[in-house]
Structure 1
Amino acid sequence: MILELADIRIHSGQQVAFDVAIQQGLNQVIVHAKGFRGFKVNKGIESPERYVLMIFWDTLENHTIDFRESAAFTEWRSIVGPFFSAPPMVEHFNLLAKSA
C-alpha cells in the first residue's frame, strides 16, 4: 500500500468552508477512484491554515496515473483548489513499520 501525503495551505479565514469542501471532495470523488483504500485529514492547531491529507492507494500508479490523469482529478481540484494559497506539496511513501 502507498501513502500519498499532501501538505495543504489554504487562504486565511477559509477554514470552515474548506473543512466542508475537502470532505465533499473526498466523499464524492476520491473514494470512487481506482485503488483507493482510505484517507485521513488532519487540521493544524498552531497553523490553522495548514492541513495534512493522507490518502492510501494500492499502487503508486493508482494515484499518479489512474487518478491524476482522469476527469475525477479535475473535479477534485475544482472543489478544493480555490482554497489553496499555494500548490500542495505531495509525496508518496511506502510503509516501513507500524505499531500492533
Structure 2
Amino acid sequence: MILESALLDVRPGEEAGFEAAFREARPLIAATPGFRAIAVRRCLETPNRYLLLVEWDKLEDHTIGFRQSPRYEKWRALLHRFYDPFPRVEHFGDSVID
C-alpha cells in the first residue's frame, strides 16, 4: 500500500468553495483502479490548510492511472484554482515502526 500526502493551502476565504468542489471531485479519484481510500482533514491552527491522505495499491495507480486519465483533468479544473501555493505531493511506503 502507498500513502499519498499533500498539505493543501487554500486561499483564505475560499474554504467553503474548496470543500464543495472537493465533494464534487471525490468520485473522480475514487473511480481509479488501485484507489483504496481518501481523507481530507482541516487544520485546527490554520483553518485554510487541509491535509490530504490517499491510499493506493501502488504508486503507478496514482502517477499513471489517475494523473494520466481524463478524470485528472476534471479534478484539476475543479480544485487547482484554490491552492496558494501549489501543494507538494509525496508518497510513502510501508510503515517502518509498528
With normalisation by structure 1, the TM-score equals 0.91
Which ranges of structure 2 fall in alignment gaps of 5 or more residues? Answer: none
State how many pairs are aligned: 97
- 1:1-100 → structure 2 map (5 Å cutoff): 1-26=1-26, 28-96=27-95, 97-98=97-98
Counterparts of 1:63 and 1:71 in 2: how far apart (Å)? 13
Which ranges of structure 1 fall in alignment gaps of 5 or more residues? Answer: none
Identity %: 37
Residue 72 of structure 1: CA displacement? Answer: 1.0
Counterparts of 2:50 and 2:74 in 1: how far apart (Å)? 20
Deviation sequence 1:38-90 (CA, Å, 0-9, x none): 11111011111111100100000000111111111111011111111121110
**In angstroms, what is the RMSD of aligned CA positions?**
1.1
With normalisation by structure 2, the TM-score equals 0.92
